[in-house]
């Protein structure tokens, strides 16, 4: 497979996964914003997906519709859904003859749905959840079509590596930013709505209720998001899948490159696997998460160097 | 006239060949079945078909992007749902004519880059050749496989008021539009179920497999599975959709310049498992950008060292480099002479009478009669930089004349040819619009093959004679009957 094509698969998938994460988070946060005016703030969302720009935060304020429009249809926001799907589509376009026609059409429809000027108007006037659901459905169609039609080859491996790498980074960012204020405000550690929000944002609330019977607690939330093998958005689940799909790239012609990255992934995987909530909090959650994130970035860079010929 | 609401406003254009009606306003036989079919459809049905066609083009991403103030606007190439129909006899004539012309043009290219007999014998003036910017000394004495220079030709044909076919221009470099020939047919299948088989329309689907077979035969390495690639300038190119379609239909890799590297006069592509040698390049990048070491040094669309590998014979390039000297509009004038010189035959397809503006007498003649002339740049394309004498203001003409006098070699003039008209579904009724025809000829070691069909371009603006997509043109599915 051409290196450039592999890179496009990887980035296509990272962008789609990012759009999925953002959309789900917007939906839950919007819902919460209708629940309680008190204590709810959009700040974490904006921080995760738009960098730590305080000026921007002040400008956007806390008005839900302003923020939704900024996150979905605003061209000036690098991480708006409109921009992300445009990037995803540009990547798909450059590998059009490698992806099934169905999948290309699916992406195309996703793009045209978001690009449609009517969507922005609907976001201002109609129920935002209905509008977000329309877009989320496009992402789900994409994943379903990819699952059914993608040939089981290198291309799909690069796609899945990109997907899980993006997902791991997202979960880390969300946990990190949500946890940060507890340093100055320890009462948050036991604030039930605060953690419920976090879990709902990444779709882990139901699993949490089934796993932990003793109410919401920061420690358990950390455990679920980092260490739970059954939670599809946990860091360990994502890293395991990176390892799984990377393994399939093994062949005789690039043994050394393969070994180099395989080592990096294996080391990261063990590091997480042999951690406990206790060891993590002793080390400091922020520090632990930063190290894991650095390792993930390094894996991304190595792929770039050894497989995408972009060194 | 046919009695149906669709045809109420179909006003024949005076002095123009109509593809559907004969001079007595009776529907020609080969349009009969389609017209009957249409008469049974309500305007509502036809509007729905038009909508469906648009939607199919859009969701399949059959679009080109126009970049305006930094923002890409996605557009579809306008498609008219009514097919253009060519009879078996007309096609046989066209096919024979194109084969003859292309044979002569291939011989011309070989001659001009080797012994130049045609210049020595005084058939083509030397200044025409040496003043052409597409005549490349880098090609001199270079032998190409099977002496084929033009592997793919898109020769544009038009029909005058009496239905006679004329060659408007020979596109011998990287003619585009063939994906629209293929896609238009796919769309027509969806729009008019059963109509294609009922009318005995010949299939065009073989095009990619013939092209692939020809590319395969050019491989310099005698191996069972040579690597064939399609070289594209990338996703920002307006023909990118065509590049991916052809790559997909032939099952070959689509590459960009940055995927390639030349080492020891061999071309490789960078893959996830190391470098892989390339044998045949079907390039959709112009000569000028192919190799920064030899041509435009700022180009990143090609790869450094490609020309060296080509000269060594380690890679085949399709179409050959330097073909521009043969489809230059100044060379065009001499194609009928080439046919007589190389083949000792009378040209089957006619040239449009053409005046060289570097000749003072001809220039004066053209300036005097400019209202009945079309003036074109010899190296222009896409309908840019043309002067339509009959539709221009006094001022435009004066400005253009000044341009011509600066570099007369760069211009030619032709009398305005009327272009035939075909019915188009516009604004809920059928109306006549002007069309041309571009069949795609493929030349391989076994000779020339032409898929029965082509691209019919149509000037959708009323009264317009310019069919180029950049100037408000669209296209139609083109049927050749068996």
B372 band by pLDDT with thresholds 50, 70 and 90? confident
* Residues written for chain A: 311
Same domain, A141 and A170: no
pLDDT in tens, B311-338: 999 999 999 999 999 999 889 999 999 9
Q: Does residue A220 contact residue A204 with C-beta atoms inside 8 Å?
A: no
Lowest mean pLDDT among B117-131, B255-269, B321-335, B376-390: B376-390
A174 with A275, same domain: the answer is yes
Q: Residue A193: inside a domain, yes or no?
A: yes
Residue A5 lies in a domain: yes
What pLDDT score was predicted for residue B70? 58
Interface test with A, best of B58, B183, B229, B272 (most A CBs within 10 A): B272
Q: Are residues A143 and A170 in the same domain?
A: no
Of the partner residues A6, A105, A309, the one whose CB lies closest to the CB of residue B60: A105
Q: Which residues does chain B have within 8 Å of residue A93's beta carbon, measured at their own beta carbons?
A: 61, 235, 240, 244
| Residues A144, A2 share a domain | yes
- Residue-range domains of chain B with CATH: 353-415 (3.30.1490.270)
Q: Which of A4, A103, A109, A256 has the highest number of chain B CBs within 10 A, making it the mutation to test binding with B?
A: A4
At CB < 8 A and 24+ separation, what contacts does B343-346 make?
B343/B100, B343/B103, B343/B104, B343/B107, B345/B100
Query: How would you classify the pairing of strands B79-86 and B266-271?
Result: unpaired
- The residue among A107, A124, A150 that closes a domain is A150
Let me know: does B322 contact B287? Beta carbons within 8 Å: yes
Q: Which helix (H) or strand (E) holds B65?
A: strand B64-68
pLDDT mean over A169-195: 85
B307-311 contacts, C-beta under 8 A, 24 or more apart: B307/B138, B308/B262, B308/B265, B309/B262, B309/B265, B309/B266, B309/B267, B310/B142, B311/B138, B311/B142
Across residues B286-308, what is the average pLDDT?
95
Rounded-to-integer distance, Cα B421 and Cα A183, Å: 78
A156 inside domain:
no
Inform me whether the pLDDT recorded for A49 exceeds 80: no
Average predicted confidence (pLDDT) for chain B: 91
Is residue B163 a contact partner of residue B17, using CB atoms and an 8 Å limit? yes
pLDDT band at A166 (very low <50, low <70, confident <90, very high): very high
Domain count, chain A: 2
What pLDDT score does B67 carry? 63
Tell me, yes or no, whether A160 lies in a domain: no
Report pLDDT digits (tens) over A249-302.
988 777 888 999 999 999 999 999 999 999 999 999 999 999 999 999 999 999
Residue B187 Cα, gap to closest chain A Cα (Å): 15
Do A197 and A285 sit in the same domain of this protein? Answer: yes
Mean pLDDT value of segment B138-163: 95
**Are A2 and A143 found together in one domain?**
yes
- Quick one: average pLDDT of A22-27? 89
- Note the pLDDT tens digit of each residue in B156-169: 999 999 999 999 99
The ipTM of this complex is: 0.74
Whether pLDDT at A37 is above 60:
no
Peptide bond into B319 cis (omega under 30): yes
Choose between A95 and A44: higher pLDDT: A95
| H-helix or E-strand spanning residue B85 | strand B79-86
Question: What range defines the domain where residue A232 resides?
Answer: 165-311
Residue A17 falls within a domain, yes or no?
A: yes
Using a CB-CB cut-off of 8 Å, the residues of chain A touching B61 are 93, 96, 104-105, 108
pTM summary value: 0.85
Asked if the Cβ–Cβ distance from B274 to A253 is below 8 Å, we say yes
Over residues B18-22, mean pLDDT:
92
Closest to B30 measured CA to CA, from B47, B18, B40 = B18
- Residue B317: per-residue pLDDT: 97
Do A230 and A281 belong together in one domain?
yes
B457–chain A nearest CA distance, Å: 26
Per-residue pLDDT, averaged over B71-82, amounts to: 82
Among A95, A120, A150, give the residue marking a domain's end: A150
Under 8 Å between Cβ of B22 and A65? no
| Contact yes or no for A131/A51 (Cβ under 8 A) | no
The answer to whether B321 touches B287, Cβ cutoff 8 Å, is yes
Question: Chain B closest CA to A99's CA: distance in Å?
Answer: 10
User: Could you tell me if A175 and A280 lie in one domain?
Assistant: yes
- Whole-number pLDDT of residue B408: 87
Q: In the beta sheet, which residues pair with residue B423?
A: B432
B429: which residues sit within 8 A by CB, 6+ positions away? B5, B6, B7, B8, B9, B10, B43
Give B345→chain A minimum CA distance, Å.
44
The span from the CA of A236 to the CA of A229, in Å, is 6
- Could you tell me how many CB contacts below 8 A there are between chain A and chain B? 61
What pLDDT, on the 0 to 100 scale, is given for residue B160? 92
Encoded tokens for B445: 């070691």
Nearest Cα to Cα of residue A101 among B385, B334, B245: B245
Q: Are strands B411-415 and B373-377 parallel, antiparallel or unpaired?
A: antiparallel
The answer, yes or no, to whether residue B1 has pLDDT greater than 50, is no
Verify that A252 and A145 share a domain, yes or no.
Answer: no
Whole-angstrom Cα distance, residue B378 to residue B410?
5
Closest CA to B451 of B216, B247, B203, B251: B203
Q: Which of A181-190, B99-108, B191-200, B202-211 has the lowest mean pLDDT?
A: A181-190
Q: Residue A157 domain-assigned?
A: no
Looking at the structure, do residues A12 and A123 belong to the same domain, yes or no?
yes
Using 50, 70 and 90 to split pLDDT, how confident is the model at A39? Answer: low
Distance CA A134, CA A130 (A): 6
In a domain, A155, yes or no: no
- 8 A C-beta contact, residue B294 and residue B307: yes
User: What percentage of chain A exceeds 70 in pLDDT?
Assistant: 98
A39 lies in the same domain as A141: yes
Is residue B302 scored above 90 in pLDDT?
yes
Nearest CA-CA partner of B407 in B296, B330, B323: B330
Q: How many beta carbons lie within 10 A of that of residue B344, not counting itself?
A: 7
Do A170 and A296 belong together in one domain?
A: yes
Q: How far apart are CA B236 and CA B64, in angstroms?
A: 9
Six token digits for residue B452? 């029965």
């Amino acid at each position: 497979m051409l290196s450039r094509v592999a890179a496009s698969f990887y980035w296509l998938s990272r962008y789609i996964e990012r759009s999925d994460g953002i959309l789900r988070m917007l939906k839950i946060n919007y819902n919460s914003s209708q629940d309680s005016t008190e204590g709810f703030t959009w700040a974490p969302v904006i921080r995760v997906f738009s960098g730590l720009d305080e000026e921007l935060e002040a400008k956007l304020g806390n008005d839900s519709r302003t923020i939704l429009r900024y996150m979905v249809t605003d061209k000036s926001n690098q991480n708006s859904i409109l921009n992300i799907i445009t990037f995803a589509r540009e990547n798909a376009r450059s590998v059009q003859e490698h992806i099934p026609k169905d999948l290309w059409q699916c992406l195309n429809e996703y793009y045209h749905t978001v690009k449609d000027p009517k969507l922005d108007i609907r976001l201002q006037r109609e129920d935002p959840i209905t509008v977000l659901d329309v877009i989320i459905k496009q992402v789900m169609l994409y994943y379903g079509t990819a699952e059914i039609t993608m040939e089981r080859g290198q291309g799909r491996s690069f796609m899945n590596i990109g997907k899980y790498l993006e997902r791991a980074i997202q979960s880390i960012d969300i946990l990190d930013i949500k946890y940060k204020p507890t340093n100055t405000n320890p009462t948050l550690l036991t604030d039930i709505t605060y953690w419920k929000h976090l879990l709902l944002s990444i779709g882990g609330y139901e699993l949490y209720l089934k796993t932990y019977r003793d109410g919401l607690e920061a420690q358990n939330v950390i455990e679920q998001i980092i260490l739970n093998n059954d939670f599809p958005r946990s860091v360990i689940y994502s890293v395991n899948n990176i390892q799984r799909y990377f393994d399939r790239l093994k062949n005789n012609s690039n043994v050394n490159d393969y070994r180099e990255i395989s080592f990096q992934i294996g080391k990261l995987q063990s590091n997480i696997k042999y951690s406990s909530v206790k060891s993590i909090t002793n080390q400091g959650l922020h520090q632990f998460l930063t190290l894991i994130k650095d390792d993930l970035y390094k894996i991304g860079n190595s792929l770039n160097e050894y497989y995408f010929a972009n060194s | 006239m046919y009695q149906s609401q669709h045809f109420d406003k179909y006003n024949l254009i005076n002095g123009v060949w109509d593809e559907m009606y004969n001079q007595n306003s009776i529907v020609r036989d080969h349009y009969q079945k389609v017209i009957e079919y249409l008469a049974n459809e309500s305007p509502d049905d036809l509007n729905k078909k038009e909508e469906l066609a648009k939607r199919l083009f859009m969701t399949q991403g059959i679009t080109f992007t126009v970049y305006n103030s930094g923002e890409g606007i996605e557009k579809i190439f306008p498609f008219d749902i009514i097919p253009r129909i060519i009879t078996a006899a007309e096609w046989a004539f066209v096919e024979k004519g194109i084969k003859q012309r292309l044979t002569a043009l291939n011989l011309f290219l070989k001659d001009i880059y080797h012994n130049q007999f045609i210049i020595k014998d005084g058939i083509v003036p030397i200044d025409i050749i040496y003043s052409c910017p597409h005549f490349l000394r880098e090609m001199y004495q270079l032998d190409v496989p099977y002496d084929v220079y033009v592997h793919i030709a898109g020769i544009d044909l038009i029909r005058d008021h009496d239905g006679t076919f004329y060659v408007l221009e020979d596109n011998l470099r990287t003619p585009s539009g063939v994906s629209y020939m293929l896609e238009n047919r796919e769309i027509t299948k969806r729009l008019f179920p059963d109509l294609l088989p009922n009318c005995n329309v010949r299939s065009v689907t073989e095009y990619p497999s013939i092209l692939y077979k020809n590319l395969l035969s050019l491989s310099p390495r005698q191996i069972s599975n040579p690597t064939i690639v399609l070289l594209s300038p990338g996703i920002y190119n307006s023909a990118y959709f065509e590049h991916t379609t052809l790559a997909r239909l032939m099952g070959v890799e689509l590459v960009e310049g940055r995927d390639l590297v030349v080492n020891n006069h061999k071309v490789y592509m960078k893959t996830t498992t190391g470098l892989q040698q390339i044998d045949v390049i079907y390039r959709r990048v112009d000569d000028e950008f192919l190799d920064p070491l030899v041509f435009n040094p700022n180009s990143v669309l090609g790869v450094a060292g490609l020309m060296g590998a080509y000269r060594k014979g380690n890679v085949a390039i399709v179409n050959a480099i330097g073909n521009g000297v043969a489809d230059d509009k100044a060379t065009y004038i001499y194609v009928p002479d080439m046919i007589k010189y190389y083949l000792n035959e009378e040209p089957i397809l006619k040239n449009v009478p053409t005046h060289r503006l570097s000749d003072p007498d001809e220039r004066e003649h053209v300036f005097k009669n400019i209202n009945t002339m079309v003036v074109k740049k010899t190296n222009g394309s896409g309908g840019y930089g043309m002067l339509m004498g009959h539709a221009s203001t006094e001022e435009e003409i004066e400005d253009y004349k000044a341009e011509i006098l600066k570099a007369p070699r760069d211009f030619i003039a032709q009398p305005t040819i009327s272009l035939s008209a075909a019915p188009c579904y516009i604004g809920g009724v059928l109306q006549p619009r002007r069309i041309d025809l571009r069949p795609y000829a493929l030349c391989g070691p076994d000779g020339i093959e032409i898929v029965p069909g082509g691209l019919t371009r149509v000037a959708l603006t009323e009264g317009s004679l310019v069919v180029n997509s950049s100037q408000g043109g669209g296209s139609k599915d083109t049927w050749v009957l068996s």
